[in-house]
Amino acid sequence: MPQIATMTTSKLMRILTGIEGVPAAVAALSQAQNLSLAAVSAAQIIAQNVAPDLSERSTVSSYPLVYVYCSKVVNQLREKFRTFSGDAEMVIETRISQDRLEDMQTNLHSYVDAITQVLDSNRGDWGDGVFYAGGYEITYGGVKHGGRNFLQLGKVSFVTQISTD
């Protein structure tokens, strides 16, 4: 049995960094709403669960950053003869940093909106027994000191159903 968390994170990373992924969604949203959002490249989408203060100390950060990780795996054994049939809770955490507070929250909402657009257009079978039915929860953190002066986080959490041997 493959590692469920790793497999699901890899599938989500392919979706987010693909041709119609987050970089394209941010560019389209920025143009459609006449916003001056910084572009997001595939290199800024990282499969890792790391606290902001640790990531800033250990790497050179180019904001915005998108962190993708699996926060929980539950084998509910819904299907009798499957090795794993349950859920994987996924998180897409967007971090933006600016030197001024103006438009920070608006920009964060726009990046999160681009991510949810990508999720909405990728409902269904992701292959290898991973299925995303839709639905997500968004939480926004308060502005803190960090990054280029100020740092704010937005998290999109959702559940994928998994059925595999």
> DSSP for 89-140?
EEEEEEEEEESS-TTHHHHHHHHHHHHHHHHHTT-EEEETTEEE----EEEE
Residues 6+ apart with CB under 8 A from 52: 95, 144, 146, 147, 151, 153
Instruction: Give the span between the Cα atoms of 123 and 134, in whole angstroms.
Output: 6
On whether the 4-164 domain is CATH 3.30.70, my answer is yes
Cβ contacts of 109 within 8 Å, gap of 6 or more: 140, 154
Domain residue ranges in the chain: 4-164
Q: Whole-prediction pTM value?
A: 0.92
Rounded Cα distance, 118 and 101, in Å: 27
Mean pLDDT by 10-residue block, N- to C-terminus, for the chain (165 residues)? 86 96 94 88 90 65 91 92 93 94 92 97 95 97 86 96 92
Residue 1 is predicted with a pLDDT of: 47
